[in-house]
Structure 1
Amino acid sequence: MGVLRLRVVVLGLMGVVLAIAAGDIFDQVRWELLIAPAAVALVALALLERNAVARVVGGLVALVGGVAGAALLDGGDGSDVRVAFSSGPQRLLSTDWPSPIRPDLLATTAMGVGALVWVAAELARLRRLHLVPLMPMGVAHVLVIALSAPNGVGLHWLVPIGLLAAVFALFRPELGLGERWTLLAGERRLVPLTAIAVGLAAAIALPLAFADRADPRRNDQPESALTLLDPIEATLALQNIDPPVDLHEIRIDGTDAAPARWRTAALVAYDGRRWAPALTLRPIGRRLAPDADDAISGTLSFLDDDLQLIPLPGGAITVDTAIETDPDRTIVRLADRPTAGQEVRFSARVEPRPSAVAPGSIGTRELDETVSGLTEFAEAIIADEADGAPPADVLGRLQLIESAMRNDFLLDPVASGGGLQRTLIVRFIRDTRRGNSEQFATSFVLLARSLGVDARVATGFEVSPDRVERDDNGASIVLSSSDAAVWPEVSVDGEWLAFDPVPDEEVSEATEEPPEEQVQTPAAPQPPIAPPPESTDDPVVTEADDIATDDDALPTVVRVGLQAAAVVGALLVPLLLLVALILGVKWRRRRRRLSGPPDTRIRGAWTVATNQLVDAGMSIGPAATNNEIADGGVEFAPTADRELHRLAVLASAATFGRPARPDLLAEDANACLGQVEHSLAAERTRWQRIRWRLSLRSLRSSTRSPV
């Protein structure tokens, strides 16, 4: 019992280390996770000499109590404990890394670690497979690594876990604690071999410890999806507030520069009519990206409780509150509606400057139908604006388009046909060159995309440098509704470079030429259009073409086939596991019988033979002699009559006598066993051989051989 207690203590310490390591799931150590594994280990230690029922009841009580403690310490209640044992794993997997610090997710993590420590403590009672209890701890470590994947495999956790596993392996349950310690103390090679093992484990783990590992978790459907208001429409609504209202106050730490633009959303999908915010937001913890050298930090105050989007100067790094975001981090949104005066700490990158952009670092994008036909307009604008030959680099060409739109186009917030439909955008670029700021941003993005450049439209706030107030502690900015703006951005080395194609002054008082008659605007009534004449050249739709009508969808036959294969696979996996378990148990029993001294191998060969006969359907009486068993076994192995009786005689001689040259007799017994098994297999069909191999008769106490 002393060795067993020590093994449980070591497993409990491994559980505590894994609970601390599980804090990487939330990007910070959470001490409440230690309660469940510690409670389970202590109860297992206290009930070590009790029966199985007492141990199971005590383990369940300790696990539930530890999970409840983890939830209650973080402000949760009984519902969070219930969730931990039901839908908690699904909730944990439906969040991005790092997972948000919520009572239900902390309780779920504590439940997983505590349950595996409980299983390991029960397996520690096994005498033969004394290393089996390390398997649940290995599973727990793999799960912690998977759920905190962007952190990589931390060597600072591998070292204590590896040392504890080595200590656990040193204490087998066969000997007492004093005897085992005396044996280990006399082993001179123990210390150098342990040092070599630890060094080898660290060397193997080094290639795995990458800081930028991808998250291996499945992209399951979130529990809820958020429907966002069109960011461009929201920007227009803010601009139209009269009088303007203050929305945010931003305090920037230290001497960091105060950016002019603070982005709240970015739009990539343009369908020819509008920019669609097709985003799915998920809960996430405080960290959204790795730390960067060009980052700034500060405090954002909400002066209005109607806004939930967080304005940031660039890519978000950390936000110290409960938030939701999309996989590309284009939108960062508070999980709950803010209160007036609420403050949020943040750190974020700053948008790059054009002077810092290296040639060839502009992101590329394939041309699609929304920009087809606009390349000639972009090339014409570049040729007109260039003084001589146009520049060859992409950034220089984009800057020429930006300059041409600022100098040659007119900004008119109430221009006729000011929508974002592709027809109106083409008219704006080709004919009128007069529109609102949203048309300027959309036109620049579409012209850039027509040149193969990855570009998008951003919304947020834009403030002038004279609005920034500085003191000894940093800078402060107040974002007003009148600062709401829309601007284009271009991808540069994973960051987004902002452009400003909008003229500085409006010309709304100028006289505008009437629109051309053929141009159709959404507000203008349209005459009826006659349907096109029927054509005799319409393609004939065949049955093969009708299998799938959606280019992005799989054909029905393939989809049904995949579903059927998935169902069959789900049914076959448990069956294959059961087959592997039966064959493994029989193989291990056979290997144990046929190993050891020669007389033991002779008796083991006879035992294996009788087990094979029992699996073939033979019934052996408890008092049957070896000769009687051989006589009855001839019916099942008719071609091995002589070998079966020879094996019975050898087993009797090894049991009741001391035969000469037992090593030769052991080889003879092994040969006889092989002939008996060959005869048993030859007398059966393929299906009968499968049933014979998988029979459980020799494993059940009521039917197994008495030999």
Structure 2
Amino acid sequence: MSDRFDQIAVAALLAVTGIAGLLFAPVFGWAELLVPVLVVVLVAYGCAELTAKFPKLTPYRPLLVALLGLLGLIETVLTSTTLAFLPTGASLQGLARGLTEGWRLTLQSTWPARPIPEQLLFVPLSVLLAVVLGLELLLRLKKPLVALVPSLAVACLAQAYQALTGVFAVVAALAYALPAGLLLWSGRRVRSVSRAPGGPRFSWRLTGSAVWPALSTVVALVAGAVALAGLDPVGRDPLTLKDTQAAPPPRSRIGNPLDEIAQRLIRPGEEVFRYRGDTPVDQWRLIVLNGFDGANWLSDSRLRRLGAGLEGAPGVSGSAELKVRGLSGPWLPSHQDLTGVDGLTPLVDESAGTLMTESPSTGQERNYRLSWSSPEVDLGSGEIDPRAPLGGLGAVPPDVENVAKDAVRGLRPTFQSALQLERFLSTNYQVATGTEELPTGHGWPQLRHFLLESKRGTSEQFAAAYVVLARMSGIPARLVVGFRGSAETDGGMHVVRNRDVLAWPEVAVAGAGWVALDPTAAAGKAERSQAGPGKAVARARAQLPAEQQLRPPQLPPGTPADSGEDQSTEAGMSWWWPSLVAAIVLFGLLWLVGVPAAKVVRARRRRRRSGAEGVLGAWDEIRDRLRAHGVPFRIGMTPRDLAESAGSLAGDGIREPVARLAKVLDVTLWSGVPVGDGSVRRAWQEVGEVRRGLATRPFAARVLAALEPRTLVPIRGRGSREG
């Protein structure tokens, strides 16, 4: 064995690198990662031994480790692509896909991710790269601390994917720190050779300079893991790389099932799907709609590829086999408390429990099996979840505000007030039945007509009206579209038809999540037996006091309204005013400096875009600059409309550049021709012309435009980019 080869140092380096790779366990699981990571580590150690025994091979050590490591991964992870245990072209393609796309596909999946080669391979490949670099840094440069950097990069990448917390973080820190400390110690030890009658004998004597770096490394890593594991200043999950990636939606046109409710009710007998389950199901969901701009309901689904399963809350487990026939997709019937899907690999929105296929159905039947776990909750004294987003309302008609106030009878936002709102709609409004003259629409004009005039509608109007009234009352609510569970059976399966289509609201309750309500059940005199979470809602509904007994919250009798304030006023005066003044000054400085700086940074980021995004960035820049100068803009305006509006501000100096940009934008969006750098350059030349035109405005107007903060808020909707 060559003196240049330190077995302890190499073993410690490979151990620490392998442990760094195993930190991806929350993403894939220990069992799935252990074999490929272990193969890489063992191959690397074997190559180190081989080159130590045959020094002439030392220059080729990185190549040997890389090639044999790749071969080991092919034989363990890509076995199905080999022919008689020999790599094929498919094996090389699998390695390339795992290296270039595996990291992104994993981020687009739910965790634990499926251990398929194209996703799993990027972890052992990262370990292999770190091993190759680490070995060369250790054996050539004799720098143990520098040799740790590649493994530390793998560990940091693993934590960026999913940070370990609590006891697991401490265990992982110890597992990494111990071999790392051994590696650092091996680089600082002092070798003494004592000759004995039997031959040379090696002994090791530790020096203070060797002990302290190793000990400090262990202490620092453990203390840091413990401190960061307990650090949670806002009570939320830590930010991970997963939050920056989502699976792309299907390329086909995605319809809104809310628009199809009336059409389905006109053809009530058509079968949609059938199912067989081991527990009753109240509702099957298709889509969850959170956004509302006054005209349209929009889904903000964050889709991911379904991994090995979803984490479910402890409770009542259930499963069902579904056969879908009457849905063209891409939305598929799902369950709110979804934990797994067999038979399909769909996209899933974890927060909504909805499923979507990546390709539209061409008429064939889709068979799959769902599993779920519904928690047992007590909603008797439920409070609204303060962390849930309230949601948008658009421009609320003034006369609807009185309806919202009357509906909840002045109650503060609680689950009781949510039930009162459900009862208000059920009692005072009628469900439209039959197949003729069914109300349609869910924007403010239709909702105003439903609430104040006709008081008759389908579940489309009931659910939409409930959500907007709840949001106006401070109750976070969202709209869900799907189907009721069916009592009709055929061949041992429940048959769901068009007449079972349903839209219903859900409210966010602290400790219970999103709870489904149904204002159409009582209004239509069709109260159904409840299952799962529906039982808790039914119990809370039965405990709801009569409307006459509901009262807004009152102070206890004899309590002066200002007693608490009198006791605290003098104590707070000593710091309240200075704090207020400091806050005002800080706010002013941030406004005077931060707003213009943010606009400069935004413009530079837009300018760096290329292709179609570069042209769209130029349009966004012109639009925001004109808005800051007071030019009216609304969703749906084309660049030509904006040019005419801006013409009155500075004449042709602005109108003509915007009109020229409109032509470039038309070619970019609708011609189908690839967008080159020339188009981007012309678009930004028009931005420069607009800036020169705006520079002729009075100084005060330009200062006010520079300090206008509202243009920093992105405009929702795509209408602003349609020319």
- Note whether the superposition's TM-score is higher than 0.5: yes
After superposition, residues 527-606 of structure 1 pair within 5 angstroms as 558-561=601-604
After superposition, residues 23-34 of structure 1 pair within 5 angstroms as 23-27=25-29, 29-30=31-32, 31-34=34-37
Q: Tell me if structure 1 keeps the 8 A contact 2:169–2:229.
A: yes
C-alpha spacing 1:418/1:366, structure 2 compared with 1 (3 Å):
closer
State the alpha-carbon separation in 2 of the partners of residues 488 and 382 from structure 1: 16
Q: 2:354 aligns with which of 314, 322, 331?
A: 331
The residue type equivalent to 2:225 in the other structure is: A
C-alpha spacing 1:461/1:201, structure 2 compared with 1 (3 Å):
same
Q: Tell me if structure 1 keeps the 8 A contact 2:23–2:158.
A: yes
C-alpha spacing 1:172/1:556, structure 2 compared with 1 (3 Å):
closer
Q: 1:347 aligns with which of 355, 372, 396?
A: 372
State the alpha-carbon separation in 2 of the partners of residues 468 and 163 from structure 1: 63
Q: 2:415 aligns with which of 388, 395, 420?
A: 395
Is 1:448 aligned to residue 465 of structure 2?
A: no
The residue type equivalent to 1:395 in the other structure is: F
Moved more, 189-198 or 557-566: 189-198
Q: 2:45 aligns with which of 28, 34, 41?
A: 41
After superposition, residues 479-498 of structure 1 pair within 5 angstroms as 482-493=499-510, 495-498=513-516
The residue type equivalent to 2:42 in the other structure is: A
Q: Tell me if structure 2 keeps the 8 A contact 1:94–1:219.
A: no
In the superposition, the TM-score normalised over structure 2's length comes to 0.59
Equivalent in the alignment of 1:418: 440
C-alpha spacing 1:248/1:10, structure 2 compared with 1 (3 Å):
farther
Q: 2:254 aligns with which of 213, 228, 251?
A: 228
After superposition, residues 296-375 of structure 1 pair within 5 angstroms as 296-304=317-325, 309=331, 311-319=333-341, 322-326=345-349, 328-329=351-352, 331-334=354-357, 342-344=367-369, 346-350=371-375, 354-355=379-380, 357-358=382-383, 365=390, 368-373=393-398, 374-375=400-401
After superposition, residues 399-410 of structure 1 pair within 5 angstroms as 399-410=419-430
State the alpha-carbon separation in 2 of the partners of residues 248 and 156 from structure 1: 48
C-alpha spacing 1:412/1:207, structure 2 compared with 1 (3 Å):
same
Please give the per-residue CA displacement for 1:636-675, whole angstroms capped at 9, x wherever unaligned: xxxxxxxxxxxxxxxxxxxxxxxxxxxxxxxxxxxxxxxx
Please give the per-residue CA displacement for 1:347-369, whole angstroms capped at 9, x wherever unaligned: 34459564252478695737743
Equivalent in the alignment of 1:439: 461
Shift of 1:407: 2.6
Equivalent in the alignment of 2:519: 501
Bigger Rg, structure 1 or 2: 1
Equivalent in the alignment of 1:380: 406
Equivalent in the alignment of 1:54: 60
Q: Tell me if structure 1 keeps the 8 A contact 2:430–2:457.
A: yes
Equivalent in the alignment of 1:247: 273
Shift of 1:141: 1.4
SS of match in other structure, 1:116: helix
Equivalent in the alignment of 2:197: none
Structure 1 gaps of 5+ residues are 384-389, 470-474, 508-551, 568-707
CA RMSD of the aligned region, Å? 4.5
State the alpha-carbon separation in 1 of the partners of residues 317 and 111 from structure 2: 22
State the alpha-carbon separation in 2 of the partners of residues 354 and 113 from structure 1: 49
SS of match in other structure, 1:133: helix
Shift of 1:411: 1.4
Q: Tell me if structure 2 keeps the 8 A contact 1:458–1:489.
A: yes
The residue type equivalent to 1:346 in the other structure is: S
Shift of 1:392: 5.0
Q: 2:160 aligns with which of 140, 146, 152?
A: 146
Shift of 1:113: 1.1
State the alpha-carbon separation in 1 of the partners of residues 396 and 162 from structure 2: 41
State the alpha-carbon separation in 2 of the partners of residues 154 and 95 from structure 1: 23
Q: Tell me if structure 1 keeps the 8 A contact 2:381–2:416.
A: no
The residue type equivalent to 1:231 in the other structure is: P
Is 1:81 aligned to residue 95 of structure 2?
A: yes
Please give the per-residue CA displacement for 1:235-271, whole angstroms capped at 9, x wherever unaligned: 556656664436243534xxxx644223332101123
| Identical-residue share of aligned pairs (%) | 17
SS of match in other structure, 2:222: helix
Higher helix share: 2
Q: Tell me if structure 2 keeps the 8 A contact 1:32–1:73.
A: no
C-alpha spacing 1:391/1:181, structure 2 compared with 1 (3 Å):
farther
Shift of 1:167: 2.5
In the superposition, the TM-score normalised over structure 1's length comes to 0.60
The residue type equivalent to 1:11 in the other structure is: L
State the alpha-carbon separation in 1 of the partners of residues 394 and 524 from structure 2: 32
Structure 2 gaps of 5+ residues are 82-89, 195-199, 526-594, 611-723
SS of match in other structure, 1:124: helix
The residue type equivalent to 2:51 in the other structure is: L
Q: Tell me if structure 2 keeps the 8 A contact 1:302–1:340.
A: yes
Q: Tell me if structure 1 keeps the 8 A contact 2:98–2:119.
A: yes
State the alpha-carbon separation in 1 of the partners of residues 26 and 479 from structure 2: 35
State the alpha-carbon separation in 1 of the partners of residues 454 and 509 from structure 2: 31
C-alpha spacing 1:50/1:163, structure 2 compared with 1 (3 Å):
farther
Q: Tell me if structure 2 keeps the 8 A contact 1:283–1:323.
A: yes
State the alpha-carbon separation in 2 of the partners of residues 477 and 136 from structure 1: 57
Q: 1:132 aligns with which of 146, 150, 167?
A: 146
